[in-house]
Each structure stands twice: as structure tokens, then as C-alpha cells.
Amino acid sequence: MTDQPQSCSSKHHSARVSALCFIGLFLLGFAARIHDVAAKPFWMDEVTTIHRARLPLWQMTQNSVFFHQFPSYFILTSWALHFGHDELWVRMPAILFGALSCALAFGVARALGGTLAGLTAGLLMVFSPAQVQYGQEARSYTLLISTILIALWGLVLLAQDPEGAARRLRAAGSRPGAWAAYVFGTIAALNVLGDSMFWFVAANLAAVAIAWRRVGRARDFWRNWLLAQSVILLCCLPWFLALKIFGQRGAMGGLDWVPPLSAARIWWTLAGTYFMQATSLIAVRVFAAGIPGLGWLVLLLAAGGAYALRRQRAALVVICAAIFVLPLSLLAISTISPVWMPRYTLWSAAPFFICAGLGITLAPRRLQAPMVAVIGLLAAANLRPYYHDETKPRWDLAAADVHADMQPGDLLLVDDPGAVHMMNLYLHRQGTHLPKTAWTKSVQKAADARAAGHRVWAIQGQVGQVDHENRTQFLASIAPLGPPSAAQQVGLDIVLLRFDGLTTEAAN
């Protein structure tokens, strides 16, 4: 009789500890993402978010679908804009969902391997440079990760109880909560970003492993599974059809900007997504790791986590499918049509870190808690340099330099009008802007202005993932202007050149 109260007390204690860990990881993830959030300048995709979020709902929806995006995240951002248009409030939805993903990773890993495994997974999510980077960007990637983690949590619970997963939803011992989490998370993910379709594929592959565990009742499981897929497709197919019918240049038109696959781009993506290294958001650049070798330690933990799951074979298939289906599919597709980018592989890092968290369970029990603490400290130290790395082009500094140096009558030559849009975003905060009469894309117009005695400025830098011209091409195109009078490097990716006006004799 005394065992039952003790058991209930132990369960209540465990639930309280889990709740505290969940909340603590959310708060720690929030702190890591809100720290220095304004120090990272906007780039072109974030400016697009701001412009689209300001539109009325119907126009926002039309604009999103035309450019092969769903309106869900822009609706959330439009609510945040009521509080302000600065870096903090524009990025607040990404910050919140990024923090939530840390707590959700804890929940999934705890269900598979206990509290310490959950803490390890959550801490890796908290301090992953890529997860923090996209948590400080006004785009929908952290929202996607959170929704997929909800779905993954539900699918893991179904894999752990295939008997309950096969019962009718209202029957005793069924798992309606797990089914609801899987269905809700998948529907939400499929209405956020298109690459969530690979989660849908991974989940259906994993379903085979769950059904395999119920040889005698596989038909009952498939009945529930087909019902779930029917609800998901009913809620999501209309949006995908809208993208195909009304999207720019058909179903794949929104991906024609992705650069061709290369070894450098493969490593750039892998290093940032899985191996705990800070990378440039736009340029193919990997920064030095704060703690060298930490990424390989995480990979070793993930291998150990897969081994630790060997007795939960259905759950192992679920986690492995969630890790591998996305990057392997993107690599395969990229041999035909490039789609390999860090942002598209990002959500698969969450199950990878969950698997790494499970690796802690292979250590002796008395060493597990100290190991979690050491991994958390190493990950935190590894993240520290990220806040100082130039992960985005410094168009804020370029705007300040142009505003300080350009005089009335000067002309600014650009290779991409996006550079003007980026600088005007910051110049508007100072009550000024670059009018259309102050800049041009025409080298001939710039040469004529210089010949007439006016100063010409030329600026080139990365605005988006793919620029119209690289630095070498731009310098070759402006050769008719002659040698510059001065050159200034603005950050890592922007150059500002000055060409003084020619005298009448020199022009002749």
C-alpha cells in the first residue's frame, strides 16, 4: 500500500523537474537569441518580410503565393510590427519560436532517453550558432522547426507505443494526444515552408517501421495513419496547389536563384547546420569555431545516441528518417536542379541534436550529469564568437558612409538596386534617403556625370544569396570610369569607390 503513494510522489517530482527544464531551456534559448539581436543588420530577405508584413491580408497572401511562400509567418510578423519596426520587434517571432524549439527538443529527447538526454539536446539547440542565427532573422525557419518538433514528438510517442497507436482513437489505451501532436505539427509545418514536404515523406517512411512492430494489428494502425494523412492533405493541398497555379514561373520557379552544388557549398551547409560552426548567412564562408572539434564531438554523441536507440527500433527509424531524408533528398535533387542551401537543411538539425542528446545515456550514470554540464559550457563558449562574426553584409555601415560622404550633385553607381533599398532602410531612420535621381545602374550615365565634373561613387556588395555581378565582374564593368580616387572596404562583403569629377581638359 505504501508503494503506490511513493510512486505517485516520484511521478509528480519527475513532472515538476521536466516542467522546470522545459521552461528553463525556453528562457535560456530566448536569452541567447535576444542578446545583441540589433547588432546583426537586416539583409534583403528580412526587408522583404517587413514590406510584405505591412500589406493588407489579401495582398500579403497574393504576394506570398506569387513568390512561392506561405503567408503564415508574415501574418505573425504583422502583429509584431504593432510594437515597432526595429530589429528587435521584426525578429521577435523568430526569437520566440527559436526559444520554443529548444524546449521542444528537450521534450522529444526526454521521451526517448530521460531528463539528462533531454537537457543535452536542449542545450545543443540553445547554443547552436546556426539555430541562434536563424532565431535572429526575420524569416520563418524557427517556426518551421518548432512545428516539426511538435509533430516529431507525437510520432515518437506513437513509435514507443505501437499497440496504443493501433487502437481506435476513443478506445481505452489509445494515444489521441500523440496523434493530435503529429497531425497538428505536420499541418502547421506544411503551411509554413515548402521544404516541410520532406518531413511528410520522412514521417510516412517511419510509419512503416511502426506498423512493422504490430504484425498482428498492422491493419488497425494503417487505418489510423490513413485517417491522419487524409486530414493533413485536406488542410495542406490547397496551398500547394495555389503555389503551383499562381506562383511565379510554376512550381519550381521560386528556386531558380539557388547556386550550383559544389564541395565548398556542401561543407558550408554541413558545418553550420550540424557541426556547431558559425557561417555567413549569404556568402560561402565558415568562421573559426569557438571550441575546435566540438562539432565532431556532437557527431560522436549522435552516433552513440543511434546506438542507444537500438532497442527502440521504431523510434530509431523515426529519428533517422527525420535526420537523413531532408539532406539526402536535397543533395539528390541538386544534381538536377540546385536546392542545396543551409536554410533548407536547418530543421533536420533538431532531430540530429536530439540523437546527440541520447548519446549521453551510454555514459555511466554517475558521470552523465557532469557530462551534460561540460557539454553545455563548451557549447556556450563555442557560441560566444558568433556575436562578433560578420554573418551578414554591413549595409547599415555602408548607408552611414554614403550619407556622410556624398554631397549634392554626386551620383551613386550600383550593380543591384537592392543595395539602395538596403541602405534606404537605414537612412530613413535618420530622416533621409537616396532618391532615384541620386543613383543609377548605368555605367555610361556615371561616366558622363564624371566627365561633366561631378563626383561618382560606386558601391558593390552582396545583397542576396545570388548577386547580379560578383566583385570581379563589377570592377570590369566600371572600367570606363578609370581608376578610382579612393576605395573603402565596408565589412567583408561591400566595397565603396570614389571617382572624382574630371576637369574640362581631362574630359576632353
Residue pLDDT, tens place only, 297-344: 999 999 999 999 999 999 999 999 999 999 999 999 999 989 999 999
The least confident of 3-17, 191-205, 290-304 is: 3-17
HEC sequence for 206-254:
HHHHHHHHCCCCHHHHHHHHHHHHHHHHHHHHHHHHHHHHHCCCCCCHH
Query: H-helix or E-strand containing 439?
Result: strand 439-440
Average pLDDT, integer, range 77-103: 95
Q: What amino acid occupies position 37?
A: V
Which pLDDT does position 1 carry in this prediction? Answer: 46
Which pLDDT does position 158 carry in this prediction? Answer: 95
Q: Using one digit for the tens of pLDDT, what is the confidence trace for 416-454?
A: 898 999 999 999 988 999 999 999 999 999 999 999 999
Instruction: Quote the percentage of the chain above a pLDDT of 70.
Output: 94
Which pLDDT does position 11 carry in this prediction? Answer: 73
HEC sequence for 450-491:
HHCCCCEEEEEECCCCCCCCCHHHHHHHCHHHCCCCEEEEEC
Which pLDDT does position 497 carry in this prediction? Answer: 96
Which pLDDT does position 120 carry in this prediction? Answer: 98
The Cα–Cα gap between 131 and 274 comes to 10
What's the whole-number average pLDDT of the chain? Answer: 92
Return the higher-pLDDT residue of 253 and 124: 124
Provide the residue ranges of all domains of the chain, joining segments of one domain with +: 12-388, 395-507
Return the higher-pLDDT residue of 256 and 133: 133
Ramachandran bin of 409, using left for φ above 0, alpha for ψ from -120 to 50, beta for the remaining angles = left
